[in-house]
Amino acid sequence: MTPRTSVWISNSVFVSFLVLSIFYSLVHFENLSLREESSTLVDEKHRSFARVQELSRIKNQFPIAYQCHYSFGLSNGSLFESTEKIPYSIYKKLRLGDSIEIYKKEIWILGKRTAISRIMGNDEPLPLLENLEKYFQYSFYYFLALTVVFLTIRVSGWLFQIYPSQQKQVETDAIAVNNSQDSHRK
């Protein structure tokens, strides 16, 4: 690998690390504000009604879990759909088309106006940006490790170019002398 290629690769890894750092911090702070908003969601002033659109069992999960897909109106008159994990005690009471009581709150997430909601009596955690935050967190650690490795290689490469060892200098001088003697003989 030539020094030029390793410098290009290390620069690309460093830029990728910076971009992922920005994305991770953005998602992390949005998730913190979302957690704060969801903690204040259960309040009488956020009480509303929604219509059940779909009930289903979540596949390949133990213990058995269920989810409810429902829609409700926003302040601007549009419909918002939400899916929520629910316990069996709520699942067995619901039917398609039923009207259910929910808590809803309109918020801004990543620059987009949206809403969060929770079915009354449901203690399951809300699906926040946890998976996205974990994805960026693991990517951040991976590129941090790569950046450290490539930065170490790059710095040590600069040191070898600036301060060549005596053995390498002697070998280089000997090769140069041999080449010059060969060219004078011809």
pLDDT digits (tens, 9 = 90+) for 91-114: 888 888 889 999 998 888 777 788
Query: Tell me: the pLDDT tens digits for 133-178?
Result: 888 899 999 989 988 888 887 777 665 555 455 556 666 666 766 6
Alpha-carbon distance 99 to 50, whole Å? 6
Res. 118: pLDDT tops 80: yes
What is the rounded average pLDDT for all residues in the chain?
80
Predicted pLDDT of residue 138: 92
| Confidence band, pLDDT 50/70/90 cuts, at residue 64 | confident
Res. 1: pLDDT tops 50: no
What is the mean predicted confidence (pLDDT) over 25-39?
86
Does residue 68 contact residue 90 with C-beta atoms inside 8 Å?
yes
Higher pLDDT, 97 or 185: 97
Q: Give the strand pairing for 99-109 and 79-86.
A: unpaired
Does residue 106 contact residue 117 with C-beta atoms inside 8 Å?
no
Closest CA relative to residue 68, chosen from 52, 80, 81:
52
Res. 120: pLDDT tops 60: yes
- For residue 62, give the DSSP letter: S
Higher pLDDT, 185 or 68: 68
